[in-house]
């Protein structure tokens, strides 16, 4: 009996993400990107997830810069839904600190494993969305 293999193609991922500019679409896109950057898979034997952010930090300089660009996209999405300059500045600070840690060749992935800027920024975005757009809140249970 052959096991069934589910293949995820780039087209299927893009088709499932909403492309609107409304708050719910932004929330879903940012949550999906945070999952890719911080929680692609779980390290066996632990409860810690690792994503593309830590993996990119293995490549000196370029990897951290690519991860910062993705974080910058999340901050841009936050600005587009009307977040304050202070909130966006906090997000930029998280991105910059994460970028600086990742610029340390080869060992930059270690602090990035513990300082998850995308998760912190998602928390800031969710707090704003829950306050200003309560209809986008998703109850998990």
The C-alpha atoms of residue 117 and residue 14 are separated, in whole angstroms, by 24
- Whether pLDDT at 72 is above 90: yes
Could you tell me how many residues make up the chain? Answer: 141
Name the more confident of 60 and 86.
86
Compute how many other C-beta atoms are within 10 angstroms of the C-beta atom of residue 71. Answer: 25
Q: How confident is the model at residue 11 (pLDDT cuts 50, 70, 90)?
A: low
What pLDDT, in 10s, does the model give residues 75-132?
999 999 999 999 999 999 999 999 998 888 878 888 888 889 999 999 999 999 999 8
Residue 18 — left, alpha, or beta (φ > 0 → left; ψ -120 to 50 → alpha)?
Answer: beta
Give the per-residue pLDDT at 13: 54
When pLDDT is cut at 50, 70 and 90, the band that residue 65 belongs to is very high
Beta strands 49-50; 41-42: pairing state: antiparallel
């Amino acid at each position: 009996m052959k096991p069934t293999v589910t293949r995820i193609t780039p087209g299927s991922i893009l088709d499932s993400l909403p492309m609107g500019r409304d708050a719910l679409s932004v929330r879903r896109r940012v949550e999906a990107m945070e999952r890719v950057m911080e929680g692609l898979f779980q390290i066996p034997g632990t409860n810690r997830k690792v994503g593309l952010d830590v993996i990119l930090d293995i490549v000196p300089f370029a990897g951290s810069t690519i991860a910062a660009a993705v974080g910058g996209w999340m901050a841009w999405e936050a600005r587009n839904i009307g977040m304050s300059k202070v909130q966006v500045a906090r997000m930029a600070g998280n991105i910059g600190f994460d970028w600086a840690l990742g610029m340390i060749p080869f060992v930059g992935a270690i602090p990035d494993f513990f300082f998850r800027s995308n998760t912190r920024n998602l928390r800031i975005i969710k707090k704003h969305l829950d306050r200003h757009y309560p209809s986008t809140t998703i109850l998990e249970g």
